[in-house]
């Protein structure tokens, strides 16, 4: 979740969801889970791998999609 990005075709990015729920044996070696555990407790993963939603009005300085990238 940030106001700046290295993505060349946009000025800002926003991740509305982090975490997931394992649903099948295909999830046994989930890369996303490893990343979430590594950064658990940080701004990006405040609840580790637990599903966490970020409503548009409570996101980073960019204010969510369609709100522009200036702060």
51 binds ligand SF4 (CB under 6 A): no
Nearer of residues 54 and 67 to ligand SF4, judged by Cβ: 54
Between 30 and 38, name the residue whose CB sits nearer to ligand SF4.
30
Matching residue, tokens 């997931």: 20
Choose between 30 and 65: whose C-beta lies nearer to ligand SF4: 30
**Which range of residues in 7-15, 18-26, 37-45, 55-63 is near ligand SF4 by CB under 6 A?**
18-26
8 A C-beta contact, residue 27 and residue 53:
no
Inter-CA distances, 8 with 1, 4, 11, 29, 53, Å: 16, 11, 8, 31, 26
């Amino acid at each position: 979740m940030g106001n700046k990005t290295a993505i060349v075709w946009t000025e800002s990015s926003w991740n509305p969801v982090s975490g997931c729920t394992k649903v099948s044996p295909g999830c046994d070696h989930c890369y996303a889970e490893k990343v979430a555990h590594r950064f658990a407790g940080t701004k990006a993963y405040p609840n580790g791998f637990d599903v966490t939603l970020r409503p548009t009005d409570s996101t980073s300085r960019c204010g969510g999609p369609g709100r522009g990238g200036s702060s």
